[in-house]
Amino acid sequence: MSKHIIVIGAGIAGLSAASYLLRNGYQVTVLEKHTEPGGLCTSWKRKGYTIDYCIHWMMGTREGTEFHPLWQDLGAFTNADGSPVPIVNFDTFTTLELSTGESVCLSSNLENVRDTFLALAPEDEKEILKFYKTLKTMAGTTSTNPLVKKISGFRQLMALMSHLLPMQEYANRFESPKLRELFLTEIPSDWSLVSLTMGLAQQPLKSAGYPVGGSLNIARNIARLIEDKGGVIRYKSDVHTIMVSDGKAIGVTLSDGTTVSADYVISAADGYATLYSMLDGAYVSEPYKKAFGEYPVFPSTVMAAFGIHKDLSSFTHASSLYLKEPIVFADGTTQDRLNLNIYHYDPTLAPKGCTLVAVLFNTWETEAWVTLAQEHPAKYKAEKQRIADEVLKRLEQVFGSLEGLVDMVDVSTPNSVVHYTSNWKGSFEGFAPTKTTLSKRLPKKLPGLANFAMIGQWTTPGGGLPTAAKDGHDIAKMLCKEDGKPFRTSWDGQR
Ligand SMILES: Cc1cc2nc3c(=O)[nH]c(=O)nc-3n(C[C@H](O)[C@H](O)[C@H](O)COP(=O)(O)OP(=O)(O)OC[C@H]3O[C@@H](n4cnc5c(N)ncnc54)[C@H](O)[C@@H]3O)c2cc1C
């Protein structure tokens, strides 16, 4: 009899683990509290529109790049009807509006980025050229020559390391206040420069595109393959406790009191809940104590989405707009930027001739949103409406009057993130990418607890989809090694 493994959570990490375990002969049951796979990698429907929450750029969309084989193995890019998921690559990464009113376009062409920066701040020529050179190295190669790949990989790693420094420290190297503002616009000052440059560097190789159909479609593609191959995914299955006997994980108890036994348990659910609730704090190792006690986390989000009865394809797809009159949220934060995404590039998200538009705000004040939603539901609803109204006013400055053109309004908050995914502090990507966190690996195993492992964004600082998928791959490989059998990535055992 093959081992029965429970995977808690059908986010990308959990799905990936399930998929790789199945093809290596394990019996797998995924237990997911929500009604859909994907976790944070999700979308939802409102009035004929699909609101896409997650994917802006997905590393590995191009064949020949590092994470592509993972997505191929998982079936992420094969739709239900067998058609391939079309990938969109953009000419521009994003456009940033400075407080001076000037707009700076970060092109997908790094030579254009260099020239834009030089025009904006000729006094910083030396530093700009250095920046450009490092970005070029970070971009890597799509060459299939193993030696070229090896050398390029090493140079890439060196370039990445040089961008681990905090954003503020890096921004200070520039004399131009405009460039300093630009670097500090999108990313908190203590985060690593790499959190911006990683995405930018992927653009010229077209290795981090957007999959048409959106985030939930990707998760469903992966989940479908698992179920087709005999894996079980049980939705509405909220794991309450991980059962332990003689220092070994032996199964789980769900919130409805039912138990599911297993030979091995992998938690791909929220890290804090796994350690402090499902395991009742009994196995928290020093690295996790430190991480949950000290590491900064990615924020949560307020997202205002609009279905606009208009073709907005002449507008740039992504921009960060400066708000001369900031919006003050009920959580006490002052928002002076608005991250705008115009999804004209994905026709599956809106009815014909219409466009989905979404605005994202970051906030770390999750507790305030949860309290507002739970204790003052009427005020919570009113605050969401007020935010939508404020955002619409600003959008009309971009698009012109939208009177009679707004088909759909939807505002999600950190309370929604906590409700649907249970992520600690409503964080959208786990531990934030700082010099300290990025140079640390958190252990997948816990001391004193056998037959158990943790994976997902809370175990890999920096988070993101490719690392979640890689975690699933790596844990399956580790189990195969523990069980003394070869690890296969294909279903037929050929690879
Ligand atoms: C707005 C936004 C934009 C993003 N943009 C990008 C991007 O462009 N590119 C990129 O690479 N990444 C992006 N990310 C980050 C990426 O989505 C996450 O890092 C990744 O999806 C995390 O996957 P995970 O499987 O580790 O965790 P999760 O997605 O959190 O999955 C955990 C799963 O466990 C389930 N669960 C929790 N508790 C229980 C329980 N008790 N019982 C059963 N199930 C439970 C949850 O419901 C969930 O399904 C973005 C995220 C957000 C929110």
Output the DSSP codes for 272-290: HHIIIIITTTTT--HHHHH
CATH level 2 (architecture), domain 4-81+213-295+429-482: 3-Layer(bba) Sandwich (3.50)
Residue 446 CA, ligand 1 centroid: distance in Å? 22
Question: Among candidates 289, 286, 271, which has minimal Cα distance to 425?
Answer: 271
Grouping H, G, I as helix, E, B as strand and the rest as coil, residue 9 is coil
Report the percentage of the chain scoring pLDDT > 90.
Answer: 84
pTM: predicted TM-score of the whole model, two decimal places? 0.95
| Rounded Cα gap, residues 472 and 477, in angstroms | 9
Residue 211 CB–ligand 1 contact under 6 Å:
no
| 421 CB near ligand 1 (under 6 Å) | yes
DSSP per residue, 122-144: GGGHHHHHHHHHHHHHHH-----
Closest CA to 244 of 268, 267, 264: 264
Per residue in 244-259, pLDDT (tens digit) is 999 999 999 999 999 9
CA atoms 207, 208, 209, 215: torsion sign: positive
Q: 56: which residues sit within 8 A by CB, 6+ positions away?
A: 210, 318, 341
| Domain assignments of the chain as residue spans, ordered by start | 4-81+213-295+429-482, 106-205, 300-425
Give me ligand 1 centre to Cα 428, in Å: 7
Residue 56 in contact with ligand 1 by CB distance below 6 A: yes
Q: Measured between alpha carbons, how far is residue 464 from residues 40, 56, 106, 197 in Å?
A: 10, 11, 21, 15
3-state secondary structure of 264: strand
In the predicted model, is pLDDT for residue 365 greater than 90? yes
Kind of pairing between the strands at 334-342 and 318-328? antiparallel
**CB of 229 within 8 A of CB of 218?**
no
Mean pLDDT for 329-349 is 96
Residue type, position 88, single letter: V
Q: Is 41 in the pocket of ligand 1 (CB under 6 A)?
A: yes
CA of residue 205 to ligand 1 center, whole Å: 26
Pocket lining: 429 vs ligand 1, CB cutoff 6 Å: yes
The mean pLDDT of 445-458, rounded to a whole number, is 97
Please, which pLDDT band fits residue 493 given cuts at 50, 70 and 90? Answer: confident
CA–CA separation, 368 and 311 (whole Å): 37
Q: What residue's CA is closest to ligand 1, atom 48?
A: 39
In single-letter form, the type of residue at position 195 comes to S
Inform me whether the pLDDT recorded for 309 exceeds 80: yes
Mean pLDDT (whole number) for 255-272: 98
Going from the Cα of 12 to the center of ligand 1, the distance in angstroms, rounded, reads 7
From 16, 465, 473, give the residue whose CB has the most ligand 1 atoms within 8 Å, as the site to mutate: 465
Q: Is residue 10 lining ligand 1, measured as CB closer than 6 Å?
A: yes
Whose CA is closest to atom 49 on ligand 1?
Answer: 39
Whether 52 is in the pocket of ligand 1, judged by its Cβ within 6 Å, is: no
C-alpha to C-alpha distance for 223 and 122, rounded to whole angstroms? 51
Residue with tokens 């659910």: 269
The residue whose CA has the least distance to atom 12 of ligand 1 is 464
The answer to whether residue 25 scores a pLDDT higher than 90 is yes
Answer whether 36 contacts ligand 1 (Cβ < 6 A): no
The residue assigned the tokens 């909220």 is 238
